[in-house]
Amino acid sequence: MNTYQVYDLVRCTVNIATTTGGVTPSSLTAQAWNVNASSTTTQSFTTAAGTIAAGSTGDLSFDVFADTEGDWRFTLYTSTGSYPGRAIGQFRVVDSVF
């Protein structure tokens, strides 16, 4: 699990692929949240808002502002089109890496 400091901007990346190669669905939603936080505030991202960036085919990324310590989870998903599915990941945020 990657570790970052509080207030870092964390680039979350995923790759969406089928058996024939990478695909980039047109409608995507992503969310990130701190599973250890007392509140369940979720940061949300969408392709419509331009907060999910597409690199080469199937490579997608979005930036999470890690404002609290703890273990974070993120998910990127689509429920429409030819390639419905979900990608997940995680990272840790600490007060200081030293």
* pLDDT for 37: 78
Model pLDDT for residues 66-98, shown as the tens digit of each residue:
999 999 999 888 766 666 677 889 999 999 766
Q: How is the beta sheet containing 70-78 ordered, strand by strand?
A: 2-5, 85-94, 70-78, 29-34, 42-46
pTM exceeds cut of 0.75: yes
Structural domains of the chain in order of their starting residue, each with its CATH number: 2-94 (2.60.40.10)
**Amino acid occupying residue 42:** T
Token look-up 């808002």 returns: 49
pLDDT tens, residue by residue, 15-36: 877 777 777 777 788 899 999 8
Tell me, what's the pLDDT at 5? Answer: 95
